[in-house]
Amino acid sequence: MILANTQPKNHLDRPIQFLKGVGPRRADLFARLDVRTLEDLLHHYPRAWQDRRETADLRRPAADGLVVARGRVLGARVIGAGPSLALYKADLATAQGEVAAVWFKHFSRRFDAFARLKKEVREGAQLWVVGRAEGDLVSAREIRVEEHYPLDDPRWPLHVARLTPLYPLTEGLSQRFVRERVSAALELACGEVRDGVPAPLAAKRRLPPAPQALRGLHFPDDAAKLEAARGRLAYEELLLLECAWVLKRRQTRGLAKGYGYEIKRTLLTPFRRGLGFELTAAQKRVIVEIFDDLRRPYPMTRLLQGDVGSGKTVVALSALLLAVENGGQGALMAPTEILADQHRATLDRFLKGLPVRVASLTSRVPKKERAEILRRVETGETDLVVGTHALLEEDVRFKSLRVAVIDEQHRFGVRQRATLRQKGRLLDLLVMTATPIPRTLALSLYGDLDVSTIDQMPPGRTPARTLLTAEEEAFAAVRREAAAGRQAYVVYPIIAESARLDLQAAKAEYERLKSRVFPGLKVALIHGAMPGKAKSKVMDEFAAGRRQVLVATPVIEVGIDVPNATVMVIQNADRFGLASLHQLRGRIGRGAAESFCHLVADPKTPEARRRLDVMAATPDGFRIGEEDLRLRGPGELLGTAQHGELSLSVADLVKDAGLLAWARADAAELLAADPTLQRPENALLRRRLGALYRDRWSSIDLA
Ligand code: ADP
Ligand code: MG
C-alpha cells in the first residue's frame, strides 16, 4: 500500500476534521473552541479534573455528592415519571452490595429515548456508573447517573477509575466525545510534539519532556503527576512570556527620542516652593528615578505605585513641568470627570503665578470651546492638558507632547494607553496606580515597565480606624463628627449586574438620610449617572464645606480629596471588592484629625467576611493588594483583557511565583548568551515566541 505511506508524517498540523469520529460538522464546533488542528487539540487543556476513582464506601459519597461504582446489572426497566420526563432504573450488584442506578431522559413520542440504555444496561451487563448520590445514602442507595460505561467498551479507562479531565466545551460537543478525541490525538501526534523549552534548560530545571507533560496533563495517573505536568507546561508559558519581555525591552531601549531634557528649574523650583509642604523622602526618590528616565535617550515607560493619599499627583506634576521647562507639552489623563476636575483644581492651586498654560478636556466641554482648546493644543499655546478619555479623540493633536501621565491606569484598557502614547513621538509615559501589586507580578505583567514605589505617607496623616459596625452606630459617628465641624461620606454600592436597581436604592436612601436620619444636617447626593456639571457642583460644595454629608455611589472611589471629611460609612460593604473598599477608605484620613471608616455589612460568604476582616485589620494598601490577589486571582484584579494579552493558559502568576522566578532568570540568561535565538536548540522557542506575541505585542502600550 504505497498510498498509506505517503500520508503526511506530521500529524500535528492535520485538520481535526480527519480525526476519526469528527467530520466537518463537529470540526466547526471545535473551531469555536479555537481547535483546528491536532496540535490545537493537544493544547486544549482541561479546565478541571474530576476524581473518579471508585468510591470506597458507597454510603459516603464525596463532598460534591459524586459516586463512582462498578457493578453487574441484575435487572432494568423503564419507569414513566411525568408527561415529559421518563426514568430508567437498573439494579446493580457491586462489591459493596446492591445499588439502584437511575437515568432521567426527556420523553419523546418520536423516538425511543432509552434505545441505547436498553442495549447497554441490560441484565448481565457489567458497568461503570458515575453519578450523584440521591436521598439518604446510608439506607437508600440510589445513584442518579450522569455517565455510564460498559466494561466491554475498551475506552472506559479514559473516563472512569481515574482523575478524569473536564474540558471547556461548546454546545454539541460532550465531555465524553472530546475526551476520546484528545486521547486519539495523543496517540497519533504526541510523539511529534517538540519541546519549546531548550534542552539545556529542561535539564537544568529537571523538567519532564513535553510529550510526557501533555499526557500527564490530559490523563494524569495521580495528583502528583498532574502537578508535575502542569508545572512543566506552566514553566514553558512563563519562559515564553519572560523572553518576550526581554526582547521588547531591548527593542524599546534601541529607540532614540532624539531630544533631551535639561533640569532648568525655572518652573520646578517655584513649584516646589509654592507647595506649602515638604516632599516626603519617598516622593523625592521617585522623582529622581523619573527624571533619570526622562534624561535617557530612549522613551520612559514607568509605573508609579503609591497607596491612596501617598501624593502621586505632585510627582506626576514634577515630570510634566520638566517637559514644559524644556519647551514640550504634557498630558494628564484620568478615568473620570470628577477626578480630572480635581486634578485641574490641584494644578491651578500649585501652579498659581507660574507661566504654565493649562487646559481641561472632557466630554463635557462645549463644542465651540473645545475647538478653541484643540487649536491651542495643536499650536503649542497650551502647555498642559488635563482630561479624561476625551484626550484620546482623533482630532486631539499636540504640537510636541513629551510626557503623558495616566492616573489610575488599571481603569484604562491596553489600547487606550497605546492611543495616548501615539499622540506624541516616542513620548515618555508615566502610569500611576493606587492598587499596588507585588513587584514580581508587576514585572511580569508589564515586563518592560520600570516600577517606582512611594512607600511612605505624607506626615500628619492619621490612618483611618476601620470598624465593622451596625448602621446606628455608624450614623451616630456621622452626627458626632458633624457636630465637631467635620464632614462625612455615606457610600452605597452600585454593581454592573444590578446597576439600575442599585441606583434607585441609593437615591431612596438619600431621601431617607436627608429627611429622617440627619434632618439637622446638609445632605447632598452624588452618583455616576448625574450630568458632569451637576457632579462638579456637588463636589465643589462639599469640598468648600457647605454640605456636611455626601451620599455617594462609588463615583467617589477615585481621587477625591477633602481633608475635612473624617467619617465614611460604607453600606453593604460586603458587596464591594477589597480594592474598591481600600480606595474608598482612602478618601478619609487625609487630615490631622482621626478618621473613622464604618463598614456596615451582613457578609453572606466566607470570602466577603474575609474581605471585611482584612480591611479592619490593616490600613496597608500593599497588604490589601496581596490579599486581593489571593482571593480573586490576577485575572480579575488586573482585568481579564490584560491577563489575556499574556497568553497564559495553565500558568498562574500568583500560584506559580516560584516558576515565574525561574523563568525570569532563565530568559535573561538565555537571551544574554544567544541574543537573537540563533542556536539550533533555541529555534523552536524563537518560532513559538513569534507565533504567540509578534502580532499582539505591538498593540500593548509600549513604545
Ligand atoms: P494620591 O497618591 O492618592 O493620588 P494625592 O496626590 O491626591 O494622593 O495626594 C493626597 C493629598 O496629599 C493632596 O492633598 C496632596 O496635596 C497632599 N500631599 C502630597 N504630598 C504631600 C507631602 N509631601 N506633604 C503633605 N501633603 C502632601
Ligand atoms: Mg491620585
Which of 71, 243, 39, 101 has its CA nearest to residue 673? Answer: 243
Residue where a domain stops, chosen among 454, 481, 509: 454
> Do the domain assignments include residue 261?
no
Q: How far apart are CA 430 and CA 432, in angstroms?
A: 7
CATH number at residue 30: 1.10.150
Q: Is the CB of 280 under 6 A from ligand 1?
A: yes
* 12 phi/psi in degrees, rounded to 5: -60, -40
- C-beta of 419 in contact with ligand 1 (< 6 A): no
Residue nearest to atom 26 of ligand 1 (CA): 458
Identify the three-state secondary structure at position 287. Answer: helix
Residue 399's pLDDT band, with cuts at 50, 70 and 90, is: very high
The SS3 call for residue 170 is coil
126 and 66 together in one domain: yes
Angle between helices 606-617 and 621-632 (to 10 degrees): 170
**Are 490 and 594 in the same domain?**
yes
599 to each of 55, 475, 557, 697, how far by Cα in Å? 45, 11, 15, 42
Give the β-pairing of 97-106 and 126-134: unpaired
CA–CA gap between residue 449 and residue 598 (Å, rounded) = 37
Give 158 Cα–ligand 1 centroid separation in angstroms.
Answer: 61
On whether residue 547 sits in a domain, the answer given is: yes
Residue 341 Cα, ligand 2 centroid: separation in angstroms?
12
Tell me which residue range forms the domain holding 221.
194-253+666-703
Ligand 1 atom closest to 310 (CA): 2
Per-residue model confidence (pLDDT) at position 557: 62
Would 215 be classed as within a structural domain?
yes
Residue 173 placed within a domain: no
Q: What is the DSSP string of 77-88?
A: EEEE-SSSEEEE
C-alpha neighbours within 13 Å on the C-beta side of residue 265 = 3
Query: From the centroid of its chain, how far is CA 154?
Result: 43
Q: Say yes or no: 501 and 545 in one domain.
A: yes
For a mutational test of ligand 1's pocket, the pick from 279, 283, 312, 314, i.e. the residue with the most ligand atoms closer than 8 A to its C-beta, is: 314
* Mean pLDDT estimate for the chain: 88
- Supply the Cα-derived Rg of the chain in whole angstroms: 31
The count of C-alpha atoms lying within 13 angstroms of the C-alpha of 685, restricted to the half-sphere facing its C-beta, is 30
Distance 273 CA to ligand 1 centre (A): 15
Comparison of pLDDT for 111 and 386, the residue scoring more: 386
Q: Give me the mean pLDDT over the 268-293 stretch.
A: 96
Q: Nearest residue CA, atom 14 of ligand 1? A: 561
Q: Which atom of ligand 1 is nearest to the CA of 313?
A: 6
Task: Measure the CA–CA gap between 323 and 268, rounded to whole angstroms.
Answer: 10
CA distances for 290 relative to 265, 286, 294, 325, angstroms: 15, 6, 6, 15
Whether 585 and 450 map to the same domain: the answer is no
Sign of CA dihedral 67, 68, 74, 76: positive
Give the residue-averaged pLDDT of 476-502: 91
409/549 same-domain check:
no
pLDDT exceeds cutoff 80 at 496: no
Task: State how many domains the chain has.
Answer: 5
The residues pairing with 525 across neighbouring beta strands, listed in sequence order, are 551
Ligand nearest to the CA of 272: 1
Please, is 177 exposed, middle or buried when counting C-beta atoms within 10 Å of its C-beta (0-12, 13-18, 19+)?
A: middle
For 536-565, write each residue's pLDDT tens digit.
899 889 999 999 999 998 876 655 778 899
Q: Is the CB of 591 under 6 A from ligand 1?
A: no
Contact 487 CB / ligand 1 (< 6 Å): no
- The pTM for the full model equals 0.71
CATH number at residue 430: 3.40.50.300
- Based on the domain organization, do 333 and 357 belong to the same domain? yes
Q: How many Å separate Cα 24 from the centre of its chain?
A: 36
Distance CA 441, CA 648 (A): 14
Which of the four pLDDT bands, split at 50, 70 and 90, describes residue 6?
very low
Q: What are phi and psi of 490, to 5 degrees?
A: -125, 115
Return the CATH number at 147: 2.40.50.140
How do residues 630-686 score in pLDDT, each as one tens digit?
Answer: 776 655 544 444 555 667 788 887 778 889 889 999 999 999 999 888 999 998 898
Whether residue 293 is found in the same domain as residue 378: yes
Is residue 403 within 8 A of residue 328, CB to CB? The reply is yes
| Pair 479, 614 in one domain | yes
Specify whether 81 is located in the same domain as 150: yes
At residue 2 the predicted structure's pLDDT band, cuts being 50, 70 and 90, is very low
pLDDT tens figures, 359-369: 999 988 999 99
How many residues would you count in the chain? 703
Whether residue 289 sits in one domain with residue 239: no
Residue-wise pLDDT for 553-610, tens only, equals: 887 665 577 889 999 999 999 998 888 898 899 889 887 889 999 999 999 888 899 9
What single DSSP character describes residue 8?
A: -
Q: Beta 126-134 vs 142-150: how paired, if at all?
A: antiparallel
Whether residue 644 is contained in a domain is answered as no
Question: What is the distance between the alpha carbons of residues 431 and 46, in angstroms, rounded to a whole number?
Answer: 36
- On the CB side of 600, CA atoms within 13 Å amount to 18
pLDDT tens profile 8-43? 568 899 999 989 999 999 999 999 999 999 999 999
> 245 or 330, which is more confident?
330
589 lines ligand 1 (CB under 6 A): no
Atom of ligand 1 nearest to the CA of 308: 3
* 115 within a domain of the structure (yes/no): yes
Closest ligand 1 atom to residue 315 Cα is 6
How far apart, in whole angstroms, are the C-alpha atoms of residue 255 and residue 703? Answer: 8
Report which of residues 123 and 653 the model is more confident about. Answer: 123
Mark whether 548 and 500 lie in a shared domain. Answer: yes
Please check whether residue 636 lies inside any domain of the structure. no
